[in-house]
């Protein structure tokens, strides 16, 4: 693999990600919750920041950008449809666009739902998928702006990708998401095993992200509305997938 990946805890429960291309020495940052821990990581690694990807406009993903750019000027990449409420962009992208970080190609997906204009980016050769607050570890983002059907259709784009992809999501919500997931699919053996591993990681104060897409497909209730067991528990055997997804999202909002 050409890329090196570092997961950087920020604020109380956010993550930023540094991605360094060994061949070109280019370095991408995904989201900027706060500047200080990112600046510290850049000093410790000796990497030179070349690019910053902003996934969506929420303050806890952008508020450190101005301070960071003062010390580490870089190209800023974000969604064209959301640029009216993002910091100034050097490269505005839409679904299907591609951009390069050194030798590696990043493909853009519109994953609106949590917000309108939220994007995810896949580096296919490296099997790295940056999803921020769309697909999350054992969860998905709350629907602040989009509809349940819109979010479900966004997630469907991601479920079709290589299951060996690493899903780099934006928050350490996994333990709480796991407790909820058990209420939706209590007999899922893979989920129970994953919860044990999550507990071990958190007891060591280690991140639970990235996860693999395969793990999410097997254990994340938001990706599993087609499950007969889930439909039975919810009493929605004849509902559409997006209706089941909407019910799971509604229950999580009240959990």
pTM for the full model? 0.96
Q: For the chain, which ranges sit under pLDDT 50?
A: none
Residue 163 to residues 110, 152, 159, 238, Cα–Cα distance (Å): 19, 18, 8, 28
Rg (CA), the chain: 18
Which residue ranges form the domains of the chain, and what is each CATH number? 3-254 (3.60.15.10)
Q: Please report the pLDDT score of residue 1 as a whole number.
A: 72
β-pair partners for 101: 104
Q: Please report the pLDDT score of residue 55 as a whole number.
A: 98
């Amino acid at each position: 693999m050409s890329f090196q990946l570092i997961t950087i805890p920020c604020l109380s429960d956010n993550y930023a990600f540094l991605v360094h291309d060994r061949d070109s020495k280019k370095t991408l940052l995904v989201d900027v919750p706060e500047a200080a821990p990112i600046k510290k990581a850049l000093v410790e690694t000796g990497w030179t920041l070349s690019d910053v990807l902003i996934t969506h406009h929420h303050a806890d993903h952008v508020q450190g950008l101005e301070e960071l750019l003062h010390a580490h000027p870089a190209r800023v990449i974000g969604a064209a449809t959301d640029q009216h409420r993002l910091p100034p962009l050097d490269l505005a992208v839409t679904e299907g666009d591609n951009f390069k970080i050194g030798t590696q190609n990043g493909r853009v997906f519109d994953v609106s739902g949590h917000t309108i204009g939220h994007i995810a980016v896949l580096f296919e050769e490296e099997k790295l998928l940056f999803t921020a607050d769309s697909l999350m570890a054992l969860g998905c983002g709350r629907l602040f702006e989009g509809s349940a059907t819109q979010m479900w259709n966004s997630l469907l784009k991601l479920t079709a990708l290589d299951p060996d992809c690493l899903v780099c999501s934006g928050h350490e919500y996994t333990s709480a998401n796991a407790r909820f997931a058990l209420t939706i699919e209590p007999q899922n053996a893979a989920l129970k095993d994953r919860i044990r591993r999550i507990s071990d990681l958190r007891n060591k104060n280690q991140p639970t992200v990235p996860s693999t897409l395969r793990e999410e497909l097997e254990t994340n209730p938001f990706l599993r509305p087609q499950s007969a067991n889930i439909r039975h528990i919810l009493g929605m055997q004849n509902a559409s997938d997006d209706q089941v997804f909407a019910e799971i999202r509604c229950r999580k909002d009240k959990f």
